[in-house]
Structure formats: C-alpha cells, structure tokens
Amino acid sequence: MLALSVTALVYATGGTKYVYVQLMYLPVLLSGLLFNARVAFWFGILAGLMMGPLMPLEVAENIYQPTEAWLFRILFFCLNGVCAGAVSGLLRHRIRLLEKVKTEIAMTYGRTLRALVVLIGERDDETADHCEQVAYNAVCLGEALALSDERIEVLYWSALLHDLGKVGIPEAILNKPGPLTPEERLEMQRHVDIGYRVILQASSEFAPIADVVAGHHERMDGTGYPKGLRAEQILIESRILSVIDVFEALTSVRPYHQAMTPEAALLMMQKESGRQFDARVLETFMGLLRRGEVMTTQDVAALERVKDRYHGDGLFLSKLKNA
C-alpha cells in the first residue's frame, strides 16, 4: 500500500525527474526490516519496475527514462532492501538468544526458590504444611483484592517462604508448649530478619519476596516488628500475609494451643481489625471464608493446583521480558 502511494505521488508530481522518487526507499527498507532479505530483494525489483519502465521521467512531456537509469535504480533498491533484511535478521536472532537466556535465568530462579521451600520441609514438616496452606489462601485473597499476576506470584512465594527464618531458631523455642519468655520472644522474632537475609542472599532478584516476608509481622498501628511500620507503609502483600498467617495458626494444632474453629478465629481477629490487620483485607478474607473459598484443611488437590501454576519454569519470566 505504501509503495502504491509513493508511485501515485511520483506520477502526480511529474515523474522520476523529481525528488519524490526517493520516497520509494522507505517501503523497500520496511520490507527488509519487517520480513527478511529475500522478500526485500524481490520487493526491490518490484519497486524498481514501478519507478522504472512503468514510470515516465517527465510526465508532462511524456518522456520515459533511459534503460540504464531504471536498472541502476533497481540495483540500489535491492541492495538497500537486502542490507535492511540482513540487519533485521541479525537483530531477531539476537533477540531470540536473549529470550532464551532470560528463560534459563527464570528457570534457575525457580529452582532456587523451590530449594528454599525444600529446606523448610527438611527442618520442620509442620512448618512446611503451614506455609503451603498460607500460600494457597494468600493467592485466593490476592486475586479477590485484584492484585496483578506479577504481584500474586510474589505473594505466593513470599507466603511459602515467610517462615524460612525459623530454620535458625532453636527447636526448644519453636516447640515450647507454654508461653515464651521476653528473651525467647525476641529470639523468635529474629526469624523474620533471618528469612529476609537468606532470601536476598540467594539472589538480589528476590528482593520483592524478601520485602514481603520482612513485613508480615508488622501491624497497622505500628506496634509490630521488625521496623514498627504502620498502615500504608506496610506492603499490601505483607498485610495479606499477616491475615492469612494468623488465621491458619489459630485454626491449627500447635504445641502451645489447640486448634480453634474458623468462626472463633475470625471473631478474635475482628477485634484487631484496623490495629493488627488491614480492615479491608480482613473483610475480604471473611467474605472468601463465608463463600467456602478458603482452605481450612490440607486439601492436597487444591495445593497441587496452585503449585502447578507457580512452580513452573516461567517464574519471573514476565518480569524479565519487561526488563
């Protein structure tokens, strides 16, 4: 279409004697950039014929071009088109190589995170099961709050790894049946910082995950730890994780308490709405629970569906492609 438009313009302005004939280089170059050198070569011949024996040198005088003139024009059109096609082909090849490298990096990231999840399981099966369930419910809540796919992906891995730092906490404290002493409580709180540092040391690309993990014990009123952040200073993913983590802990059997019913757990959590928990996040979670969309037992099939979604080789691929 562009070539036909240029042909019409050249004819309307008086023929190939005038400068507008040079505009035909544009569609020739585009054919090479958009397709390949072979297509550009044949398009160059076609363009040369349109600007050659089929186009007068001077329309008004009905004077046609010498044969050698339009043959040389065809040659230059073909050369320009082939060069453009060769450059375009080289760029496309480099882009394919770059995409391959990005995919391999994403696969490496995925394997690294899965190794950290395995580490949690090796340390404590109960903690691993807790993290799996928190991850499933966190994804459901993130979707209900209309988070983007990229943020939900980060939320999922943050939920799986939020208790990673407990690998550095003594078992006597983790499994103590009674209340913790102030010193033991401070030791337990270290698991947030330990998890944050381990995730970052695995790769700086995991910073979004580490940041969510670092904030999952912060409170809306600023009395949480480790930084005492409040309200909107806390990442939305961390606020989601806080609600899901506490709910799962209250409804599970622990060394220091028996499992509560979901209704009793929510009643207790509602008292902390706006203080410990984000009121909107908690209200949305309650809606999910009422509709039966929250997993309150170890639903293996449900867990596997979420694992299939986020444990694939495409981890961080969208982020890498947009980098």
> Based on the domain organization, do 73 and 167 belong to the same domain?
no
Contact 285, 247 (CB under 8 A): yes
Print the domain residue range for 132: 124-321
Q: What is the CATH number of the domain that holds 193?
A: 1.10.3210.10
> Based on the domain organization, do 231 and 312 belong to the same domain?
yes
Q: Dihedral through CA 185, CA 190, CA 191, CA 192, nearest 10?
A: 110
Task: Among 38-52, 117-131, 140-154, 272-286, name the one with the lowest average pLDDT.
Answer: 117-131
Closest CA to 153 of 322, 317, 321: 317
- For the chain, the domain total comes to 2
> Based on the domain organization, do 170 and 281 belong to the same domain?
yes
Task: Point out the domain boundary residue: 96, 115, 132.
Answer: 96
Dihedral sign computed on CA atoms, order 34, 38, 39, 41? positive
What DSSP assignment string belongs to 173-186? Answer: HHT-SSPPPHHHHH
Q: How many CB atoms lie within 10 A of CB 210?
A: 22
Any domain includes 147: yes
Q: Report percent pLDDT > 70 for the chain.
A: 81
- Give the CB-side neighbour count of residue 115, counting CA atoms within 13 A: 10
Q: For the residues 186-209, what does the mean pLDDT come to?
A: 88
Q: What are phi and psi of 253, to 5 degrees?
A: -75, 130
Report field, pTM of the whole predicted structure over 0.75 = no
pLDDT in tens, 130-159: 677 788 889 889 999 999 988 998 898 898
- What is the model's pLDDT at position 172? 84
Q: Dihedral through CA 220, CA 226, CA 227, CA 230, nearest 10?
A: 0
Any domain includes 216: yes
**Tokens matching residue 51:** 């600007």
pLDDT at position 296 over 70: no
> Based on the domain organization, do 226 and 304 belong to the same domain?
yes
